[in-house]
A and B are shown apart, each in its own frame.
Chain A
Amino acid sequence: NAGVTQTPKFQVLKTGQSMTLQCAQDMNHEYMSWYRQDPGMGLRLIHYSVGAGITDQGEVPNGYNVSRSTTEDFPLRLLSAAPSQTSVYFCASSYFATGELFFGEGSRLTVL
């Protein structure tokens, strides 16, 4: 059982480049979300989804786009990377709206 899978694990971008962080889960979870983790700030919610076709903004959505075309996948797009987006990104999913969250291993992004 793979759980929540994130790719890539590491990525270096130049300012202004775009890229997509992939997230897939095989647990048939309706609820998925993206967080970023920065030193001294804890994890902060970027975007979340309550089901296929439904997404909403979290605490720090600027500069990021999401879509949810299938239950399994929830990609996070960086439209024009900035150094402030250097962070570790985590995807999470849960079966219930207020249920236990399962996290991926994270994607470490550096923007030069």
Chain B
Amino acid sequence: KQEVTQIPAALSVPEGENLVLNCSFTDSAIYNLQWFRQDPGKGLTSLLLIQSSQREQTSGRLNASLDKSSGRSTLYIAASQPGDSATYLCAVGAGFQKLVFGTGTRLLVSP
């Protein structure tokens, strides 16, 4: 059974710092990997989607990498801002529409 782990569970950094969020999964047979952002009391917003044949995706200050062989993905956030404060969720595509989620990393960026 696919299991997804996100470390750390919480992270607090000062504004301007570059940071890395980690996601690991147990089964390398995945369709894709997606990173989401969730604000308190809100739904999930898709940040980056990496298909299984890809190694990384970039959007603005965000860069996500995928290493299927080691079962790892990282989300790199450059020059963090207070507006980046949220919970970041990693989800692995285990089949059509079947995402397996990690429990998230709660990020706080202080001014």
Number of contacts between A and B (CB, 8 Å)? 64
Contact of B97 among A31, A102, A103 (CB under 8 A): A31
CB distance from A102 to the nearest CB of B (A): 7
Question: Can you pick out 16 interface pairs between chain A and chain B where the beta carbons lie within 8 Å of each other?
Answer: A4-B43, A35-B99, A43-B44, A43-B91, A44-B101, A45-B97, A45-B99, A92-B44, A94-B97, A97-B97, A98-B51, A101-B34, A103-B36, A103-B44, A104-B43, A106-B42
**With a CB–CB cut-off of 8 A, which chain B residues contact A98?**
31-32, 51, 93, 96
| A100: B residues at CB distance < 8 A | 34, 46, 49
CB within 8 A of A43: which of B42, B46, B93, B99? B99
What is the 8 Å Cβ interface bit string for chain A, positions 99-112, against chain B (1 contact, 0 not)? 11111111000000
Size of the chain A interface, CB-CB below 8 angstroms = 28
Specify which chain B residues have a CB less than 8 angstroms from the CB of A94 in the assembled complex: 97
For the complex, give the distance between the alpha carbons of A92 and B97 in Å.
9
Whether A97 and B96, one on each chain, are in contact in the complex, defined by CB atoms closer than 8 angstroms, is yes
Residues of A within 8 A of B49 (CB): 99-100
- Bound together, the chains give a CA A75 to CA B97 distance in angstroms of 16
CA–CA, A31 and B104, complex, Å: 24
Number of interface residues of B (CB under 8 A): 23
Asked if residues A106 and B43 are in contact (CB atoms below 8 Å), the reply is: yes
A40/B103 contact (C-beta < 8 A), A97-B97, A98-B96 known: yes
| Interface residues, chain B, with chain A CB atoms under 8 Å away | 4, 31-32, 34, 36, 42-46, 49, 51, 89, 91, 93, 96-99, 101-104
Inter-chain CA distance A106–B40, complex, in Å, is 11
A residues within 8 Å of B by Cβ? 4, 31-33, 35, 40-45, 48-50, 58, 90, 92, 94, 97-106
Q: With A and B bound together, what is the CA distance between A97 and B49 in angstroms?
A: 13
B101: chain A residues at CB < 8 Å are 35, 42-44
> B103 contacts A105, CB within 8 Å?
no
A contact residues around B91 at 8 Å (CB): 43, 101
Quick one: which of B36, B45, B98 has the most chain A CB within 10 A?
Answer: B98
